[in-house]
Amino acid sequence: MACPANKRVVVGLSGGVDSSVAAALLLEQGYEVIGATFYIWPRGAGGGSGGGTELPAGVRDAQAVCAKLGIPHHVIEDEERRRQLIDYFAAEYRAGRTPNPCAVCNQTVKFAALLQTADRLGAAWVATGHYARIDRDPLGRPVLKRGLDPDRDQSYFLFTLRVPELARCLMPLGDKTKAETRQHAQRLGLATAAKDASMEICFAAGSHYAEFLRQNQLVREHAGEIVDLEGRVLGQHPGIEFFTIGQRKGLRVAAGRPLYVVDLDPDTNRVIVGDASALERDELFIQRCNWLAFDTLTGPLEVTAQIRYRHRGVEATVTPLADGWAHVKLHQPQRAITPGQACVLYQGEVVIGGGWISRTGPGQ
């Protein structure tokens, strides 16, 4: 990678091996690297192994990596952004949707904070340890692509980035595998080399999401009915916030056959259940669409639609609608299409754009 005239880059360090190696690779490529860690917990609210005002292990690990690499480190604390992310998380469950905090965090917290820090420090670039690639088209427009390692590709979580933001991003792990990343960390003797990847929601680390909502008084239990597709009452539940589409366990109803959550009704606080076949859908609506490959979508387009992280993708036709909506017609029915999750659209390895899955379309 050729270095531009301004070689200063702010690297988002989580305290994990991926972001640590991203910083090391950029340093090797001749960049002036500055580490920055977003502290998701306010001081004194816990989140660190020692409690109180002690920084959590992730921040301390990031500091150790920066010391090893000989680069400065900044801790970014932004209570307002943290609060907004948690409020979104709770509001989605209250509305009968399943939130995707990682994709929202990338847009409203992580990259926003990194870019703000970069501007303050006079850096042209920001970088992360995501397994995704950023190329340029013939006109110089940034092109977001899948990471080369299909088992680690994280482009799904990045569709919310705007083109001007993407134009300032570097993602040096896009052409690496996880094994290669860990080997590089071991060669450098980084403290994070053997650290396991975290699959937890950062602000709810160590807790099941329902327990996090209860403990922080973000939702309250309010009894409702579990009904079948014909409206027959099969049982009771403590609130739709504690269920998600496709869920089977925890229903506590005796039906003589497996039942799954097929819908959640926030107006009636009802959990609707049915057989596995009732989870199959061949179309969906998405809203608040963000288009990366062009300024706006003007007509139907053939794409591959990924309806959740780890979904293999399915061929589809996306058609633009008014006010940032789009209709996605899947060529094969898919199971458990979940409101609140992202539907990200690809052509080959290129992210075309995406939007947020809605229960109904515009005006319905």
Residue with tokens 């039942």: 259
Q: How many CA atoms lie within 13 A of 167 on its CB side?
A: 9
Predicted confidence at residue 8, as pLDDT, reads 96
**Residue ranges, CATH 2.30.30.280, the chain:** 223-274
First to last CA, the chain: 49
d(CA 194, CA 13): 16
Q: How confident is the model at residue 206 (pLDDT cuts 50, 70, 90)?
A: low
Average pLDDT, the chain: 89
Candidate list 66, 169, 202, 343, residue with the active-site label: 202
Q: For 223-274, CATH number? A: 2.30.30.280
Mean pLDDT of 142-168: 95
Residue range 118-152, pLDDT digits in tens: 999 999 999 999 999 999 998 889 999 999 999 99
Sequence-ordered list of residues with C-beta below 8 angstroms from that of 267, at least 6 positions apart, any chain: none
Candidate list 3, 66, 102, 105, residue with the active-site label: 105
Predicted confidence at residue 252, as pLDDT, reads 84
Cα–chain center distance at 290: 15
47 pLDDT exceeds 50? no
> Pick the residue with more confidence: 42 or 360?
360
**Residue ranges, CATH 3.40.50.620, the chain:** 8-204
Most confident stretch, 95-104, 191-200, 240-249, 347-356: 347-356
d(CA 330, CA 304): 9
Residue with tokens 């053997």: 194
Q: Is 289 helix (H, G, I), strand (E, B) or coil?
A: strand
Q: How confident is the model at residue 216 (pLDDT cuts 50, 70, 90)?
A: confident
d(CA 20, CA 9): 14
Whether the Cβ atoms of residue 144 and residue 134 lie closer than 8 Å to each other: yes
102 in catalytic set: no
Give me the amino acid identity at 250.
G
347 pLDDT exceeds 70? yes
- The pTM of the whole model exceeds 0.85: yes
202 in catalytic set: yes
Q: Is 36 helix (H, G, I), strand (E, B) or coil?
A: strand
43 pLDDT exceeds 50? no
Q: For 281-358, CATH number? A: 2.40.30.10
Whether the Cβ atoms of residue 306 and residue 346 lie closer than 8 Å to each other: yes
Whether the Cβ atoms of residue 13 and residue 20 lie closer than 8 Å to each other: yes
Whether the Cβ atoms of residue 293 and residue 352 lie closer than 8 Å to each other: yes
Domain spanning 8-204: which CATH class is it, in words? alpha beta
Residue 305's CB: how many other CB atoms inside 10 A?
25
Mean pLDDT of 88-100: 92
Mean pLDDT of 282-305: 95
Residue range 189-202, pLDDT digits in tens: 988 888 776 665 66
**Residue ranges, CATH 2.40.30.10, the chain:** 281-358
Give me the amino acid identity at 316.
A
Alpha helices in 97-207 (DSSP H): 101-105, 111-121, 163-166, 178-188
d(CA 143, CA 149): 18
Least confident range from 39-53, 209-223, 350-364: namely 39-53
Residue with tokens 């977003």: 38
Element of type H or E holding 307: none
